[in-house]
A and B are shown apart, each in its own frame.
Chain A
């Protein structure tokens, strides 16, 4: 029955919920050496989101930005770019084309059971990119034996004020799936379509500020488990077409349209074996085949003809193939001491017109962690990773140390030091782009970037009873980066990659949560500093007088089950405070100066109403982006600099949505 699921979800709210990210074995949030944040399936459903970005934009420290030209989104976590974030699907890293994390928008949200977020580096276990944090997306799997589930979902959403039923303008999501278990076997299937009609915004004639995008997802998974052995295989398929209508050239009645078509196959296989109570062994293998095709057509709008435009880069296929394997053993030496050694292998291969040659990068790593509990109150977890890379000089040693001290039954203190690193991406090393007047070349001499990170947090379980749970958390972090790889942008759209000096971030967060039978409410606050990366430059004149620029954020999620009518009302709010950004410009005396440009603050709120009928039919409706955010103003903060950075495109304005979901769940009586 559907009840089983509900109960599990409610558990996810307490500190007793089970997490897997960075754990020796699945364990509770409370006992984890890391502070893990869980976005439960209940919250995912309640928010009525159609992709993971829509879910995370409400999290503290998460900021999203749009790429106008490509119709893609990048994220920034705790003041660090998306290239410092590791995206995992069931613990296995997702391939990305560049340093942006497109994979986040290329996962079917309907297949997700929960998302585990860890802030701070986890490079010892997860390797490159895991500096700012890890987003581990856990897929849904049948856990009970001899059970059968099926679901069908349809959601219709407006894009700002533009909407058309089922197709074209607006946002349309349809999803279908099922899974079942039979004896020792389980299997599942899913199919989804996301259709985004794009948004005109302020784009010139024919063009769109946000590009129309159609996605098809398909997935299949099978699993087998018996006694102390379990094995599973999973395949996820994505087809995505981002259509970019070209702007109209009134001089000669032409426009150039492009399609960016992505096909992505993600194969994952996993074997877990637990020969004795003290030994366990887990091996994951994945093969990812990512192909992105560009098609470009010249439209003669007067003559009504459409011909392929055949300039360099206009018809291109880029492929990224990644083979990944990780094997780790966990040995409980005694009650106080566990050891987890592991090996990891990764092979990245890429081709494409704009990629120099057919580069292949292989990465080998050995890592191990110890978990030592000298007393009940202490948990000490040192870790070390050694890696070798075929192309660039890999950082030789990546250490980490996590400490957890239980002050009492309700108060836990966590402290950690970790070194993080990010390998230069294939694109940063080998990307060549010559079809504009700017020759852009990858930089094969790039080195890995490093961070030294310090995190601390205090978790307090204020009250924990059957009826009510109250939790509070306060945390602080400091990250110092060196050798940071950055895409430098100048006038005239000039891009290239460098190991640009230093960067730092620091911040404080507090979170509070109350959970009762009907009410679930949270309130969080963060204050995050981004370093003035130009500060150390001798050739620039400092006008800001600041080494750090601070930005506040506040979020609150409130959901309440209204008695009698059985409707859950949810309000999901976030305040994104003004975001100062250091920049360089020229003043009246023609001097190069550092100045502050500030992105205005904005409020984001979604409101949803959810009603479940007959335990299987869920109706949902709501309003997203209540504050009607579209473009966020950037303003210059003195210094007399000459610079114009237009407003940043953030979203497409207030929209409404309605959805219906049917969920069938059966449990066989036998066995």
Chain B
């Protein structure tokens, strides 16, 4: 393995040395398609990885769900997201001095979700499910420092993530970047992390484990869909409540990726061509795929579980390439392995 990496590195260096000076960067044509086994890592239905797929490369990248705590918007706004893939939760305090926050401030605070009996009120502890950045749990970081409140953060236990101690955190602006103050609840001093916006990404991530920036998602033009365990929503019969899901598929909505679900009763996967694009309705909603591609079967038996073979998806990437995407298997009932879904995709139409 190591020798292979070295070989790859050598090849890369050779390539790099070729693309010298003013040589135009060769534009690689979008891939014709491929089949991937997504590397969810261990954990099965609580797979430890989130997997990002770029159809045009084609490639997949994975990142451990528990490897990050906050995502800091690299765009023009100053928004902070919680880790939806560990089901992290936060609540604000009416304080702005981290050192003034003690355990007394968390007495009686509910910062947990009962998976067996979630309540619609629990939405107040998480970011907007649909990814609307104007509705994050942590208010937009204000240029006026005194407006930025302290939040109590539960780093999340979703999908078998080991429980970690609550933290008190506070996010400030730092020029065109961020300063994050954090400390254990009872601590009388705090640590800080500085993050500069790198707008090649949707978000720049930090982890409180090392107190530093971490790589999570690839550059925003280098992924189309993310397969992950995540907090999402469902109805227990009395309206939507937050709920943890495995195998959720999000599209890179912030980068302009769009997707459509196509039923094979309309046109089969094999028969879908560029001519069908005009009659396909695309959506830029984050959860246009979500969990719609599979049936988990609930507690009752194997026979209904499996990928839905009556549908596939068409993805328009941010460059304007169209790919059709089929989920082949994801669970024992459909011949697959939980946590390692098989997908196959194929170029329908390359960008002009």
A584–B238 CB distance below 8 A: yes
Query: Chain A contacts of B295 at CB under 8 A?
Result: 493
> How many Å from the CB of B171 to the closest CB on chain A?
30
Whole-angstrom distance between the Cβ of A425 and the nearest chain B Cβ: 14
Check if A163 is an interface residue, CB within 8 A of chain B.
no
Q: Quick check: A247 and B332 within 8 Å, CB to CB?
A: no
Among A70, A253, A436, A584, point to the contact of B45 (Cβ < 8 A): A436
Complexed CA–CA distance, A498 and B117 (Å): 8
Contact A252 B335 (CB under 8 A): yes
Contacts of B305 in A (CB 8 A): 256, 436
For the complex, is A540 an interface residue (Cβ under 8 Å from B)? yes
A255–B305 Cα gap in the complex (Å)? Answer: 10
Asked, given contacts A539-B120, A584-B238, whether A256 binds B333 with beta carbons under 8 Å apart, the answer is yes
**A69 B236 Cβ-Cβ under 8 A:** no
| Residues in A whose Cβ lies below 8 Å from that of B236 | 488-490, 494, 496
Q: A245 at the A/B interface (Cβ < 8 Å)?
A: yes
Residues in chain A near residue B44, CB distance under 8 A:
311-312, 435
Please tell me if the beta carbons of A436 and B297 are within 8 angstroms of each other in the complex. yes
Q: Is A520 an interface residue (CB 8 A)?
A: no
* A70-B300 in contact (CB<8A): yes
The residues of B that contact A417 with a CB separation of less than 8 Å are none
Which residues on B sit within 8 Å (CB–CB) of A246? 302-303, 306, 333
Q: Is A377 an interface residue (CB 8 A)?
A: no
Chain B CB within 8 A of A478 CB: no
B281 within 8 A of A: no
> A437 on the interface (CB 8 Å rule)?
yes
Q: Is the CB of A439 within 8 A of B244?
A: yes
- The answer to whether B238 and A256 touch across the interface, beta carbons within 8 angstroms, is no
Supposing A436-B296, A539-B238 touch, asked if A207 and B303 sit within 8 A by C-beta, the answer is yes
- One digit per residue, 1 when the CB lies within 8 angstroms of any chain B CB and 0 when it does not, for chain A 259-278 equals 01000000000000000000
A657 within 8 A of B: no
A247–B303 contact, CB under 8 A? Answer: yes
* Chain A CB within 8 A of B328 CB: yes
Smallest CB-CB separation from B298: which chain A residue? A493
Task: Indicate with 1 or 0, residue by residue over B315-352, a CB within 8 angstroms of chain A CB atoms.
Answer: 00000000000111100111110100010100000000
Q: Using A251-B307, A298-B335 as known contacts, say yes or no to A443 and B301 having CB atoms under 8 A apart.
A: no
Please state if A494 and B302 are interface contacts (CB–CB under 8 Å). Answer: no
A486 to chain B: closest residue by CB: B237
How many A residues are at the interface, by size bracket? 35 or more
Chain B residue nearest to A534 (CB atoms) is B238
Contact check, B45 vs A495: say whether CB atoms are below 8 A apart. Answer: no
Q: How far is the CA of A488 from the CA of B291 in the complex (A)?
A: 20
Inter-subunit contact B296/A258 (CB<8 Å): no
A434 at the interface (CB under 8 A from B): yes
Q: Contacts A251-B328, A298-B335, A314-B332 given: A256-B302 contact, CB under 8 Å?
A: yes
Known: A251-B326, A490-B237. A67 touches B300 (CB 8 A): yes
B237 close to A489 (CB less than 8 A): yes
**CA A251 to CA B308, docked complex, whole Å:** 10
Cβ–Cβ contact A252 & B328, under 8 A: yes
In the complex with contacts A584-B235, A592-B239, A244-B298 CB distance below 8 A: no
B283-311 interface code vs A (CB 8 A; 1 in, 0 out)? 00000000100011111111111110100
B246 at the interface (CB under 8 A from A): yes
A436, B339: Cα distance in complex, Å:
11
Residues in B neighbouring A434, C-beta threshold 8 A: 45
Are A296 and B332 in touch, CB under 8 angstroms?
yes
A433 to B115, CA, bound (A): 12
Residues 237-259 of A contacting B (Cβ, < 8 Å)? 244-247, 249-258
**Smallest Cβ distance from A557 to chain B, in angstroms?**
35
Contact at A249–B299, with CB atoms within 8 Å?
Answer: no
Shortest Cβ gap from B47 to chain A (Å): 10
Chain B residues lying within 8 Å of A296, measured Cβ to Cβ, are 302, 332
Contact A244/B239 with A251-B328, A309-B332, A314-B332 known, Cβ cut-off 8 Å: no
B115 engages A311 (CB within 8 Å): no
Q: Which B residues are in CB contact (< 8 Å) with A433?
A: 299
Task: Check: B116 CB closer than 8 A to any chain A CB.
Answer: yes
Contact A493 B306 (CB under 8 A): no
Give A503 Cβ to nearest chain B Cβ, in Å.
Answer: 13
Closest CB in chain A relative to B35 CB, distance in Å: 10
CA distance A247 to B303 in the complex (A): 6
Would A492 and B299 be within 8 Å (CB), given that A247-B306, A251-B307 are in contact?
A: no
Q: Of A251, A437, A491, which is within 8 A of B229 by CB?
A: A437
In the complex, A518 has a CB within 8 A of chain B: no
Q: Is A331 an interface residue (CB 8 A)?
A: no
Report the minimal beta-carbon distance from A245 to chain B, rounded to whole angstroms. Answer: 7
Candidates B304, B329, B332, B335; contact of A69 at CB < 8 Å: B304
Structural contact, B299 and A490, CB atoms closer than 8 A = no
Q: How far is the CA of A437 from the CA of B230 in the complex (A)?
A: 10
A436-B237 contact, Cβ under 8 Å, with A249-B307, A252-B329, A256-B332: no
In the complex, the answer to whether B309 meets A244 with C-beta atoms within 8 Å is no
Chain A positions within 8 Å of B307 at CB level: 249, 251
Docked complex: B140-175 residues within 8 A CB-CB of A: none
List residues 294-351 of chain A with CB under 8 A from any CB of chain B: 296, 298, 300, 309, 311-312, 314
Q: Report Cα–Cα, A311/B301, bound state, in Å.
A: 12
Contact status A249-B338, CB under 8 Å: no
Q: Are B329's CB and A251's CB within 8 A? A: yes
A322 to B326, alpha carbons, bound, how many Å?
Answer: 49
Q: Are B334 and A493 in contact (CB under 8 A)?
A: no
Q: Tell me the bound Cα distance from A267 to B38 in angstroms.
A: 53
CA distance A315 to B329 in the complex (A): 21
Would you call B243 and A249 a contact (CB within 8 A)? no
Query: A252, B342: Cβ atoms under 8 Å?
Result: yes
Pair A441/B115 contact, Cβ less than 8 Å: yes
Q: Are B234 and A584 in contact (CB under 8 A)?
A: no
Hey, what's the 0/1 contact readout for B234-275 against A, CB within 8 Å counting as 1? 111111100111110000000000000000000000000000
Q: Give chain A nearest CB distance to B268 CB in angstroms.
A: 10
The 8 closest A-B pairs by CB, nearest first: A254-B335, A437-B246, A493-B298, A69-B301, A592-B239, A436-B296, A69-B300, A490-B235
What would 22 A/B residue contacts be, using CB atoms closer than 8 Å?
A70-B301, A246-B303, A246-B333, A251-B326, A251-B334, A252-B334, A256-B303, A311-B44, A435-B338, A436-B296, A436-B298, A438-B296, A438-B298, A488-B236, A489-B237, A490-B236, A491-B235, A492-B291, A498-B117, A584-B239, A586-B240, A592-B238
In the complex, given contacts A252-B336, A256-B332, what are 13 additional A-B residue pairs having Cβ atoms less than 8 angstroms apart?
A249-B335, A256-B303, A256-B306, A258-B303, A296-B302, A433-B299, A436-B297, A440-B299, A489-B236, A490-B243, A496-B116, A584-B237, A586-B239
